[in-house]
Structures are given as C-alpha cells and as structure tokens.
C-alpha cells in the first residue's frame, strides 16, 4: 500500500491554486499515516475552515469539516467518545491561532492525544489575503497594505509553553523531514503539534515579491535554521537573525496525556 491509496481519487484534482503548498503537506501527512499501518476505519481527519482545512475532504477516511477555529474542540469530542480512534487535525494559521487560539492552548494544556498539522501560510488565504497572527513584520496583506507592524506568534513556542508533548516545525521544502516529524507525532502519546510553513502564491506570494512559486520555496529553504545549529549559535553567543525560522524537533517529552488508553 502507498499513501496514494488514502486519497479520494474521484475528488482530485483539488481546488487549491497552482503551486499551493497545502497539497504537499497532505502528501507528507498521508505518507506518515500510511507508514503507521492504521486501518482507514480507525483513522479520522478533522479540520476547521480555510483552504488548509479543505484537506480532509480529499481523504478516503471518515472526517469532520467543522466550523472556523473549532477543529480541536470537535477532535477532542471524537477522541474522548472513542479513544480507540486515531485523530489527525488539519488546520491553518488563522484557524488555529486567531479564532481558535483558546482551543489551541487548552488542547495543549490538557495534552489530548491528537496530532495537529498546521499549514502556516502566514495569511488568511481563503478570504482574500488578510493578515493573520503569524504574518511576519513588514509583509504586505490586504489588511496591512503598508506592511505588517505587529509581532507574529511563534506557534511552536506557544504549543511548548502550553504543554504539548511533541512539537516540531518544517517547511514545504523539507518533505522527507516533515513526513518523519508527522510520523513521530502520530507515535507520541499526548498532543503532537507539527507546524509546516507553506507558500500561498495567490494571497501571500503575489503581494510579497515572490513572482514564482519556486522563489517562495527557495526563500523558505534558505531561511530555515536547524535547531541543532541554532543551539550551537546560542552557545557561541551569536545573534540569531530575526528572519530565520528554527526548524526541527523542538520539543519531545512525556507529560501525562488525556485520551490515552492505559
């Protein structure tokens, strides 16, 4: 079996724009799920609202496409009602960190046995490119036409501080690494959070001087800083450049988890 068997072939091609990174993240997540050897009847995908949240609609298993920001609330319900199910959540930066911010921190605090994959395109893609809580400083969006002046959320640090058992960050360039990270997330009991930085050529790239999709992916590649290298730089007392994203396995621990069968 391969991860291609998890797609609803009749629903493809999907509606994402040409070059949208969401498709890549679905591939990597399904490849990891496939490696776990789980049955389709025992795996559930849950999402909120947004381009990223359309993902479960392209997957063969049972799924819930819920209300904006509430994916984690619904996923908690599914997991508590039947802890035998494997629950994977697809979400976007707006869905998870803006309207769904409270659900996010409390799901981390409770350390519920879910795996959450956040496709962070740093923008509200679906509604026409409004700035989100993760839009970087200086970036243009339809609500920040002179450049965003706010400090963005670091979703991984937020998840770690709130108590998640497993946290890692990769980008749509690092497909193999992302696949492995999702697999570790699926294996880890408790709340696993995987942030995937993705390109949104339509709402973000177009306004921020990424003429080609490949330019944005190249940007993500050269602005990724491996956690091990970051730690070495910190030890040597060097300054970490502000525009770098720390990638890798950021947190792995075994706090008591909810929804895990003893």
Partner 1 sequence: MKLAIDETRCKGCNLCTKICPYKIFKEGKKPNRKGTVVPELDRPERCTNCRLRNLYGRQLCGVCQLTCPDQAIHWTEEEPYELHKVAIEY
Ligand X SMILES: Cc1ncc(C[n+]2csc(CCOP(=O)(O)OP(=O)(O)O)c2C)c(N)n1
24 touching Mg ion, by CB under 5 A: no
**Contact string (CB under 8 A) for partner 1, positions 188-207, x = contact:** -------------x------
34 CB-contact burial (10 Å; exposed 0-12 / middle 13-18 / buried 19+): middle
Applying CB under 5 A, the span of 53-61, 118-126, 186-194, 218-226 interacting with Mg ion comes to 118-126
CA 135 to chain centroid? 15
State the Rg of the chain over Cα: 17
- Distant-in-sequence, close-in-space partners of 225: CB < 8 Å, separation ≥ 6: 240, 241, 244, 245, 246, 247
* Nearest approach, Cβ of residue 4 and partner 1 (Å): 7
Q: Which one among 94, 133, 205, 248 touches ligand X, defined by CB under 6 A?
A: 94
- By CB under 8 A, name the one of 40, 137, 176, 209 that touches partner 1: 176
Written as six digits, the tokens of 228 are 């091990």
Q: Is 202 in the site for ligand X (CB under 6 A)?
A: no
Cβ proximity to ligand SF4: between 96 and 112 the closer is 96
Chain centre distance of CA 32: 14
CB of 23 to Mg ion, least distance (A): 15
Enumerate residues 6+ apart whose C-beta is below 8 A from 214: none
Does 18 bind partner 1 (CB under 8 A)? Our answer is: yes
Is residue 52 a contact residue for ligand X (CB under 6 A)? yes
Based on the shown chain and the rule CB under 6 A, indicate whether residue 206 belongs to the binding site for ligand X. Answer: no
**With CB cut-offs between 5 and 8 Å by kind, which of Mg ion, ligand X, partner 1, none does residue 82 bind?**
none
Distance CA 130, CA 144 (A): 8
DSSP 196-219: EE---IIIIITTTT--SHHHHHHH
Asked if 85 interacts with ligand X (CB under 6 A), we say no
Cα–Cα separations (whole angstroms), residue 218 to 172, 206, 212, 226, 237: 10, 15, 10, 16, 28
Residues that bind partner 1 (CB under 8 A): 2, 4, 7, 12-14, 16-24, 27-28, 31, 172-173, 175-176, 179, 201, 212-214, 217-218
Residues that bind ligand X (CB under 6 A): 49-52, 68, 92-95, 119, 121, 123-127, 132
Residues that bind Mg ion (CB under 5 A): 92-94, 121, 125
């Amino acid at each position: 079996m391969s991860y291609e068997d998890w797609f609803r072939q009749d629903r493809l091609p999907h509606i994402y724009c040409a070059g949208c990174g969401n498709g890549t993240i679905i591939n990597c997540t399904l490849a990891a799920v496939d490696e776990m050897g789980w049955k389709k009847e025992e795996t559930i995908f849950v999402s909120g609202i947004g381009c990223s949240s359309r993902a479960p609609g392209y997957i063969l298993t049972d799924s819930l496409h819920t209300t904006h920001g509430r994916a984690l609330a619904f996923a908690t319900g599914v997991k508590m009602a039947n802890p035998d199910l494997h629950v994977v959540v697809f979400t976007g930066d707006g869905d998870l960190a803006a309207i769904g911010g409270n659900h996010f921190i409390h799901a981390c605090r409770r350390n519920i046995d879910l795996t959450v994959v956040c496709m962070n395109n740093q923008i509200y893609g679906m509604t026409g490119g409004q700035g989100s809580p993760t839009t970087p400083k200086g970036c243009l969006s339809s609500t920040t036409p002179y450049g965003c002046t706010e400090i963005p959320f670091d979703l991984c640090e937020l998840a770690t501080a709130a108590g998640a058992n497993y946290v890692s960050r990769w980008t749509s360039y690092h497909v193999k690494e992302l696949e492995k990270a999702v697999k570790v997330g699926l294996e880890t009991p408790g709340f696993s959070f995987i942030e995937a930085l993705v390109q949104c050529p339509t709402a973000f790239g177009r306004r921020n001087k990424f003429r080609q999709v490949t330019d944005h992916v190249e940007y993500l590649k050269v602005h990724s800083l491996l956690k091990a290298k970051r730690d070495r730089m910190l030890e040597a007392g060097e300054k970490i450049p502000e525009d770098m994203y720390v990638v890798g396995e950021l947190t792995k621990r075994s706090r008591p988890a909810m929804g895990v069968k003893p």
